[in-house]
Structure 1
Amino acid sequence: MGTTPDRTPGPTRYPRLCVSAASGGGGKTLLALGLARAARKAGLAVKPFKKGPDYIDAAWLGRAAGMAATNLDPFFLPPAALAALFARALNAVDAVDAAVTRDAAGAAAPDRAAQGRGRLGLVEGNRGLYDGLDAQGSCSTAGLARALACPVLLSLDATKMTRTAAALLAGLMDFEPGVRICGVVFNRVGSPRHETALRRAVEARLPLPVLGALPRLARNPLPERHMGIASSGAGLRAEADALLDALAQLVRDHVDVERVLEAAGNAPPLPGGETAPRDGSGDDGPRRTLAEELRPPPSSSAPGPHAPPSVADRPEQRVCPAPGGAPAGGVPAAPRPRIGYVRDAAFWFYYPENLAALEDAGAEPVPLALVDAPGAEDDVWETLDGLYLGGGFPEDFLPRLSGSPGLARLAALSRAGLPIYAECGGLLALSRGMERDGVFWPLAGALPLRAVWTARPQGLGYVEGEVMLPNPFLPVGLRVRAHEFHYSRCIREAGAPPAALALTRGTGMGRFSEGDGRARAGDGIVCGRTWGAYCHIFAPAVPCWAPNFVAAARARRAARALR
């Protein structure tokens, strides 16, 4: 064990593997991180993917692999679009393949990218393999694996278990057609004798290779929630690389990495074909935008005969008209408006696809900071035509955030009519302030609400709702899918506008009173041209958001030019 092959993996152009488990907490994150770092050190260009809405695991995967992770979410995209997004992301690896390999393998190691070692798409699932939104398993990791025709490597917690492990594996293998489990790695194995018993039980009953057995560790190296994310935003603490190297060594010592990579290389052709150009664009025309690449033909988005129905197959999520009935998409040949986005220690929850969508729509994304080196970008703020405030953990930086000169800029820009789109942490930054542990910290004051930090999540999971108020970003009446993850609640001030989103799923900002005396869940607040809400959107699933945002920023730029 512990070696990797020197030959090119399998016939597919998209070697890929999905790491899953029988339940949440089954060890899949530890296994996925160790495999990602081990494969990277072996010279492969590893492109990581995370199933579902997740910024934290994705940040760890990106650090382990040496390149940013892409989220794949069946709640937001139908199967054909998921396969297209996967192919697009893995195709883009070719441009950085050799550089990543040299950085990972070291100057003394051979340039294995030049030897044709190629790429590895490594997908980490979430929860248990078949766990979804309903009894039919909608939006499960199994459904994603089917959409990608992706072999599944199971991490199975074997605590106090021997022969029963074979029974569980038999059930997982036969539970749903179209899911190919290529092997199992036992986790939390107590001793060599325990490992031998597990292997014999599986080999006696199942045609499933046991590809490894990770020992029980004295402590969990990956604590919950922040999981080591620290003051460099999406970066990790200095000791994170040492931890990832240790996980890679653990995997090399206890997992047959060679056979794992063989399974990834023997994946069948990717659904939708494997003839797409490696740079994701055609040779006879302009580069296609992300939204154009992910827009499947109507017939291709239907689930397979054995697949449970997916909520992402509902048409209203993919139809997103621009204001005035104009089609969403297309980039006018006008000067690129500058849309700032705050990315620092407190605010770093951004899907790369959201920023790419803004760029595709014609904007120039400009990174900014509120708690890191405040005041260093004074001149940049004055040039903005729009502002995108993502989520993060601002509650952990309240003293620095409350004292940041950037808050006054936020308030002034909001009052002046700059288009501002704020999600979760960004919503809190725009509030009057936040109370934590009995202390109230004043913030920008651009929105008429106060936030209170809570020790437990107030909103966690998927969100569905209808846009109720006019705003520059999303048309009234649009049904939006999003997700939420917040350890706070907001208290609206008297006279604050009603909810911008009427929710049929999720918590949002709580219950709002209707005119007829009824109350319903709602999220979001609109003040002028500023939108703030707890929910996070995924731009490919809301294709009008970026064009509308850029159109509003372009109008702002034109108005400023006339002054």
Structure 2
Amino acid sequence: MPITIPRFILAGLSGGTGKTIVSLGLARAFHLRGLRVAPFKKGPDYIDAKWLGLAADSVCSNLDPFFHTDSMLQSLLVHKSAGRDISLIEGNRGLFDGKDRHGSCSTAELARKLDTPVILTIDCTKMTRTVAAIVQGCVHFEQGLNLAGVILNRTAGERHRSVLKESIEEHTDIPVLGMLPKLKDNPIPERHMGLMSDQEYDGTDYGSEQKALDALATMAEEWLDLEAILKIASAAPATSQQVPQLFPGDPKPRNVRIGYVHDAALWFYYPENLEALEHAGAELVRLSLLSDEPWPEVDGLYIGGGFPEVFADRIAKNRGVLDSLRHLSEAGAPVYAECGGFMVLCDYLKTDDNTYPMAGVFPVGTTFCQRPQGLGYTEAVAVRDTVFFPEGGRVLGHEFHYSVCLDKEKEALDYAMRMDRGKGVGIGWDGLHVNNTLAGYNHTHALAVPEWAPRFVEAAKLFRESRDL
């Protein structure tokens, strides 16, 4: 029997049009109305996804045609929407912008694959009648796209709003679902990776991130036609019930302990990555680089990305924890680190102000730069067998880092992955490898590399058995 999932995608004409603020306002408004919201983020983004989760009071999952097959996209939508009243998917970049000139992996492509109506957010700064031409162009640019409505953002006043609405109604059949004024201040400021993370948010004039989200909900209630948006979501076509499970087979008994660093410095984790480890038989133990509490005994370690440069002084002073990390690696425990986690495993981290000693697992350093040093989807090939990937295995991922690796051409370095797309640590390689530790700038998604979690857990099991001898 087909499954009905009320849903819509909120897209923009480009990055910076305000679609994230609108998405947060809608998610929060629906939540405060008592609706159970399933939030999703198109693309590999962590920060927007975290804010969407906070707004909806629910874990946010990522949907991406680059990472996920068509059936897996359907599976994610169905499984993560179960028991919810409405699913809100925030797009990324421009509606038709993808990884190439054909728009591959774009928000529009995702909308077609999931047969989901699109609501387009348009920045109307210094524009009136032209907005109608833009809407008309979007309607006819690609076949199979259901453009169900538009939200006009950053409008200048009642006269401006009147001309905009009348122009769209005269020249198109697309309904205007709301017109937002220019905000005097952004409740959630931006930083170099997009929105400021909730871990660093100081509340500005709102006191807390929850109050800031409530303010966005009030804005949505006042300026947007929420009833019309709910009607569009409810009219979305039913989806097939025949979708695969997210993780094959029955969950295994949790007989190994894998620690994962999750604190204000490092918290970039896809929820499915942690779920995949648990499904494969891991008991997850949350750890911190910022607390001086000794770490419990673990059989493996996962260190995600984040902002270690912001907390470099505190991390560097926490020598006991850094020593524990290094000892785990030296003992042969499986240690997997991505981006910020890789930076912590290096000898040192340089910022504009200082050089901070890190864990010293790899004889290299990193330095923070003012511009991105790697940005976009990645494709890598494992050039040697490791506990995480088999030799010849393809690893899909993404990178977004402002730091760069120093000393990356040392002869003693062992790289485990060749980059066919993307920069990685540098010189076309990623995945520095020593003992059973693998680290680099590449972020992976467990559903795109299904062998990763089972191999990780198996390696942790072998390490535990060797330690118990």
TM-score (normalizing by structure 2): 0.94
The aligned residue for residue 269 of structure 2 is 350
Residues 154 and 332 (structure 1), Cα distance of their counterparts in 2 relative to 1, 3 Å cut: closer
- The answer to whether residue 252 in structure 2 is matched with residue 337 in structure 1 is no
1:212-250 C-alpha deviation (Å, 9 max, x unpaired):
0001122333332362325479x9995221211111111
Distance (Å, rounded) in 2 between the aligned partners of 1:542 and 1:330: 18
Distance (Å, rounded) in 2 between the aligned partners of 1:43 and 1:219: 28
The aligned residue for residue 137 of structure 1 is 103
**Aligned-pair identity (%):** 46
Distance (Å, rounded) in 1 between the aligned partners of 2:27 and 2:323: 43
The aligned residue for residue 389 of structure 1 is 303
Distance (Å, rounded) in 2 between the aligned partners of 1:353 and 1:245: 28
* Residue 22 of structure 1, aligned match among 13, 21, 28: 13
1:491-510 C-alpha deviation (Å, 9 max, x unpaired):
23633324221112111112
Distance (Å, rounded) in 2 between the aligned partners of 1:561 and 1:290: 33
Report if aligned partners of 2:252, 2:279 keep a CA contact under 8 Å in 1.
no
Structure 1 position 289, deviation (Å): 5.7
The aligned residue for residue 523 of structure 1 is 430
Distance (Å, rounded) in 1 between the aligned partners of 2:159 and 2:69: 45
Residues 119 and 214 (structure 1), Cα distance of their counterparts in 2 relative to 1, 3 Å cut: same
1:272-308 C-alpha deviation (Å, 9 max, x unpaired):
x1477xxxxxxxxxxx86233xxxxxxxxxxxxxxxx
Report if aligned partners of 1:59, 1:69 keep a CA contact under 8 Å in 2.
yes
Following superposition, which runs of at least 4 residues in structure 1 exceed 6 angstroms of deviation?
A: none
Residues 356 and 448 (structure 1), Cα distance of their counterparts in 2 relative to 1, 3 Å cut: same
- Between Structure 1 and Structure 2, which shows a larger proportion of strand residues? 2
* Residue 338 of structure 2, aligned match among 423, 429, 433: 423
Q: Which structure 2 residues correspond to residues 103-182 of structure 1 after superposition, within 5 A?
A: 119-182=85-148
Distance (Å, rounded) in 2 between the aligned partners of 1:472 and 1:238: 46
The aligned residue for residue 221 of structure 2 is 252
The aligned residue for residue 292 of structure 2 is 374
Distance (Å, rounded) in 2 between the aligned partners of 1:395 and 1:523: 20
The aligned residue for residue 42 of structure 2 is 51
Residues 483 and 51 (structure 1), Cα distance of their counterparts in 2 relative to 1, 3 Å cut: same
Distance (Å, rounded) in 1 between the aligned partners of 2:241 and 2:385: 43
- The answer to whether residue 365 in structure 2 is matched with residue 450 in structure 1 is yes
Residues 543 and 438 (structure 1), Cα distance of their counterparts in 2 relative to 1, 3 Å cut: same
Q: Which structure 2 residues correspond to residues 432-451 of structure 1 after superposition, within 5 A?
A: 432-451=347-366
The aligned residue for residue 261 of structure 1 is 230
Report if aligned partners of 1:79, 1:144 keep a CA contact under 8 Å in 2.
no
Unmatched 5+ stretches in structure 1: 1-10, 95-117, 277-287, 293-328, 512-520
The aligned residue for residue 183 of structure 2 is 217
Structure 1 position 12, deviation (Å): 6.3
Distance (Å, rounded) in 2 between the aligned partners of 1:136 and 1:232: 37
Distance (Å, rounded) in 2 between the aligned partners of 1:528 and 1:128: 43
Structure 1 position 119, deviation (Å): 1.1
Distance (Å, rounded) in 2 between the aligned partners of 1:198 and 1:274: 41
* Residue 31 of structure 2, aligned match among 34, 40, 51: 40
* Residue 448 of structure 2, aligned match among 534, 541, 554: 541
- Secondary structure, counterpart of 1:462 in structure 2: strand
The aligned residue for residue 317 of structure 2 is 403
- Secondary structure, counterpart of 1:125 in structure 2: strand
Residues 262 and 12 (structure 1), Cα distance of their counterparts in 2 relative to 1, 3 Å cut: farther
The aligned residue for residue 413 of structure 1 is 328
Q: Which amino acid aligns with 2:373?
A: Q
Q: Which amino acid aligns with 2:446?
A: A
* Residue 202 of structure 1, aligned match among 156, 168, 179: 168
Query: How many residues are aligned here?
Result: 462
- Secondary structure, counterpart of 2:362 in structure 1: coil
Structure 1 position 553, deviation (Å): 0.5
Distance (Å, rounded) in 1 between the aligned partners of 2:29 and 2:406: 47
* Residue 82 of structure 1, aligned match among 73, 76, 84: 73
Distance (Å, rounded) in 2 between the aligned partners of 1:134 and 1:231: 33
Q: Which amino acid aligns with 2:162?
A: T
Q: Which amino acid aligns with 2:92?
A: N
Structure 1 position 45, deviation (Å): 0.4
Structure 1 position 457, deviation (Å): 1.3
The aligned residue for residue 517 of structure 1 is none
1:359-389 C-alpha deviation (Å, 9 max, x unpaired):
1111111111111x321x43x1xx2111001
The aligned residue for residue 291 of structure 1 is 247
Structure 1 position 355, deviation (Å): 0.4
* Greater Cα offset, 258-267 or 21-30: 21-30
1:25-74 C-alpha deviation (Å, 9 max, x unpaired):
11111110100000001110011000001010001101111011100011
1:90-117 C-alpha deviation (Å, 9 max, x unpaired):
11xx2xxxxxxxxxxxxxxxxxxxxxxx
Q: Which amino acid aligns with 1:549?
A: F
Q: Which amino acid aligns with 1:50?
A: K
- Secondary structure, counterpart of 1:432 in structure 2: strand
Unmatched 5+ stretches in structure 2: none
Distance (Å, rounded) in 1 between the aligned partners of 2:282 and 2:376: 30
Distance (Å, rounded) in 2 between the aligned partners of 1:12 and 1:210: 29
* Greater Cα offset, 252-261 or 237-246: 237-246
Residues 135 and 412 (structure 1), Cα distance of their counterparts in 2 relative to 1, 3 Å cut: same
Question: What's the C-alpha RMSD, in Å, of the aligned pairs?
Answer: 2.0
